[in-house]
Structure 1
Amino acid sequence: MRIDVHTHVVPPDLPDFATSLGDPRWPVFRLEGSTGRLWKDGAEVRAVPEAAWSVDRRLDHMDKVGVDVQVLSPLPPLTVDWADESYGFAFCAQVNYGIAEMVQRAPSRLAGLGMVPLQDCERAICALEDAHGLGLKGVQIGTQGGTRELDDPQIRDFFARAAELGMTILVHPLILGASVPWTTRISGLPLTFGLGMTTDTAIAAAALVLGGVTAELPDLRICLAHGGGTFVWALPRIAHAWAMTNDVPLAQQMRNVYVDTVVYDRANLDHLIRVLGPDRVIWGTDYPLPAAAEQTGELLAGLPDEHAAAVSGGNAARLLGLSP
């Protein structure tokens, strides 16, 4: 099987809280023919093709490129972990219901990840449980829980509940546009896309691994988007410093951490497989972002036979509980 774990959708029937609440920070999705436009803060942040909301168009693409299963997750700008908790919960619920409806249209070809208002642990757990009840396989979160880092004790119960339910957590950076909110030294699209997003992912990964979340919850399943960002590349230095004050090897803290293959370069993919092992690298394309989807698909060509089946589908099937 070829299972793409990193694809995004925008359910078309989203509440327009930007209008009803008079708050332009809320994402608004508008259809213009075969193009969907996502607006936030009064500006268009993403234009997506019909496959972002149409199951039929998505299946057409999957058949064309030879993908057996896609795992649908919310387009990252839909994340509302800054919002009032009650409205955030309502927005997440509508997104999750929309994704579940898409999956139900083609349950043998699609699986889904929902979203939660992680700024409020109790509501996040409720949203997680609702997503589980809808048949979703996990949830996508950002690199923080509101303003809290992911190892904050106040959101530990959320991760514990995810482990109990067997719900996979996809950690995805949320940086938009050409600036990074936590520094003025990274700006412009190349650096924001290349350094901002990958560093943001690495900080989140460090909180989960070095902050004890993955060790405390060995049944928790974490998948880091974009190859884990810069975290895997920095592991030798991190592990060296970790060993100075810790008896447990850092690698043991990472046994339940997976990464996808959205790294744009075959040498990078080979590095991930070498460092983490072929059983914890999972094919993903960032579809419907065209360049990422095309380049990531090409990376699988020529993988050794002993790695190809695992990376292209076997690892994802095991992680998400998907049947061949």
Structure 2
Amino acid sequence: MSFELRPGPVDVHAHWLPRELFGLPPGAPFGGITDRDGRLFLGEVPLSIETRLMSDVSEIRADMERAGVGSRVLSAPPFAFALGTEKGAADYVDAFNDGLAQVVRDGEGWFAGFGCVTPADPQATARQLQTISRTPGLVGVALPPLLHGTSFDSEPLEGVLRQADEFGLAVLVHPMQLPSPSLSKHYLVNLIGNPVETATAIASMLLGGVQESLPTLRVCFVHGGGCAPDLLGRWSHAWHARADVRAASTRPPEDGFRALYLDTVTHDDDAFTLLAAKAGDGRVLLGSDYPFDMADGDPVRHALERGLTAEQIERDGREFLGLSESDPTVSR
């Protein structure tokens, strides 16, 4: 069975979750999602999202038309990642992946999808990745940057990357906004916590030698790579200065960084300029973070104003997803 995206800019970073899965997977650290008068709450925390925007595919399409987005790759919001091995976690992931496949199948090229896995359960993960790879329009897997104090240079996340690469799947890495006492005020758990989680995962991949051991892996870190572009020089200095920093890798981190994909959600012209200067050619992808309050509500316009072209963001998005620009039809 083949799959084809609509022409136009490809937004690789957007979220969807059906109402029937608002309970979240067993063991979810924040409690379930509730709809209160049309607004979403995560436990007792307001998400500043209208419920319909998270679940209603027609609303997502309307936003895409308004913003000039050709196609959108949907993934679960990070609080719906299944992090543990509790009974029912794999069932929750299967239900999400089945629902996402249906949205993509019915979407007439408007949507592709990043499926979910249960990374703490290697046996279930292997089965889920195989299913994703065989489902038309599911082009990859969304993963957290951290899992129980480990990242991509350790099991189980490193093993998930290797399996995704073997299946030819793209990987989208999205921070979890993990709670921390020092970040409990002013929404710092998002404003600081999310960029640091992402930078930690990038550093683990580069300094751990994982990226160079998986040269064909297509992996995108959202929110412009978090604070990694600003820290890259510090990492490189340490790599040259300290034997323990370079012990697991054979090349400085700036080399590996140019092989990663990053999205455009930087919220700032100067931050985007730095990202573009550090990233490799064709490695900056269009992202929106729809429908969150921290989303870029006009991602195509902002990408064009910051020097990308419509042709670039379509071509590079397709290449990341494993879809050829010249032949956008794939059997997956």
Q: TM-score scaled to structure 1, two decimals?
A: 0.86
Aligned mate of 1:243, from 231, 240, 243: 240
Q: Which residue of 2 aligns with 1:163?
A: 165
Q: Which residue of 1 aligns with 2:100?
A: 99
> CA deviation digits over 1:15-73, x for unaligned, max 9?
8578xx8x78575455567x363544xx3553434132122221122112211001101
Aligned mate of 2:268, from 259, 265, 269: 265
Shift of 1:320: 0.2
Whether 1:90 and 2:97 are equivalent positions in the alignment is no
Shift of 1:310: 5.7
Q: Which residue of 1 aligns with 2:194?
A: 197
Structure 1 distance, partners of 2:304, 2:198, is: 26
Shift of 1:264: 0.1
Secondary structure in structure 2 of the residue aligned to 1:52: helix
Structure 2 distance, partners of 1:90, 1:37, is: 23
Q: Which residue of 1 aligns with 2:5?
A: none
Which letter maps to 1:203? T
Aligned mate of 1:188, from 185, 188, 203: 185
Whether 1:252 and 2:255 are equivalent positions in the alignment is yes
Worse overlay, 203-212 or 23-32: 23-32
Q: Which residue of 2 aligns with 1:65?
A: 67
Equivalent pair of 1:81/1:145 in contact (CA under 8 Å): yes
Structure 2 distance, partners of 1:131, 1:25, is: 26
Structure 2 distance, partners of 1:24, 1:60, is: 31
Equivalent pair of 2:35/2:51 in contact (CA under 8 Å): no
Which letter maps to 2:100? I
Q: Which residue of 2 aligns with 1:150?
A: 152
Q: Which residue of 1 aligns with 2:215?
A: 218
Secondary structure in structure 1 of the residue aligned to 2:74: strand
Structure 2 distance, partners of 1:185, 1:30, is: 27
Equivalent pair of 1:4/1:285 in contact (CA under 8 Å): yes
Structure 2 distance, partners of 1:124, 1:279, is: 30
Shift of 1:220: 1.3
Whether 1:110 and 2:111 are equivalent positions in the alignment is yes
1:213–1:187 distance in 2 versus 1, CA, 3 Å: same
Which letter maps to 2:186? L
Worse overlay, 160-169 or 143-152: 143-152
1:25–1:174 distance in 2 versus 1, CA, 3 Å: closer
Q: TM-score scaled to structure 2, two decimals?
A: 0.84
Aligned mate of 1:7, from 9, 14, 17: 14
Secondary structure in structure 1 of the residue aligned to 2:109: coil
Whether 1:52 and 2:49 are equivalent positions in the alignment is no
Equivalent pair of 1:278/1:311 in contact (CA under 8 Å): no
Which structure has the higher relative contact order (CA within 8 Å, separation 6+)?
2
- Taking only aligned residues, the RMSD between alpha carbons, in angstroms, comes to 2.6
Which structure carries more helix by proportion?
1
Q: Identity over the aligned pairs, expressed in percent?
A: 26
Equivalent pair of 2:198/2:228 in contact (CA under 8 Å): yes
Which letter maps to 1:171? V
Shift of 1:125: 2.0
> CA deviation digits over 1:240-285, x for unaligned, max 9?
1112344523233334311111110112112111111341111101
